[in-house]
Amino acid sequence: MISEENPPFGYLTREVGQILMKVMEPVLKKHHLSKEHWQVLNSIPVSENTKVEEIHQLFSDRGWIDPSNLYESETNKLKLTNAGSAAQQTIFNEIHARRKLLFRDVTNENFQIATQVMKQIIANEKEID
């Protein structure tokens, strides 16, 4: 039965997702970045949903990418300058430190189990319909 002590799985996963973003927000605000900017800076390949021109302009203005070279052709990722790499590392370290606080008292074994459960749910969804 659903209760405060036993909330639905979907509720818990949504809450965790929101908490992860909430923990990142102060770092992103400090560096004047959106979640999408951070995803690109953190080397996620550019997708069709990425506003490439906006991100290119922002990162070029900050000296984080070479304005004459938008992509590394072999990886389809933005090519960072030394300043961009330094900013990426600084922001990553700040986010990691905050996330580490969220996961205190969570054993590696429990984290792996939770991750595996979520992966299995994702895999199962592909078999529905």
In CATH terms, 9-124 corresponds, of 1.10.10.10, 1.10.730.10, 1.10.3720.10, 3.40.50.150, to: 1.10.10.10
35 phi/psi in degrees, rounded to 5: -60, -40
Q: Residue 66: helix, strand or coil by DSSP?
A: coil
Considering the entire predicted model, what is its pTM? 0.69
Q: What is the pLDDT of residue 72?
A: 55
Dig out the tokens for 80 from the structure: 């960072």
Give 73-121 as a DSSP string: TTTTEEPB-HHHHHHHHHHHHHHHHHHHHHTTT--HHHHHHHHHHHHHH
Q: How would you write the pLDDT of the chain (129 residues) with one tens digit per residue?
A: 667 788 888 888 999 999 999 999 999 999 999 888 888 777 655 556 667 777 778 888 888 887 666 555 555 566 778 888 888 899 999 999 999 999 999 999 999 999 999 899 888 988 887
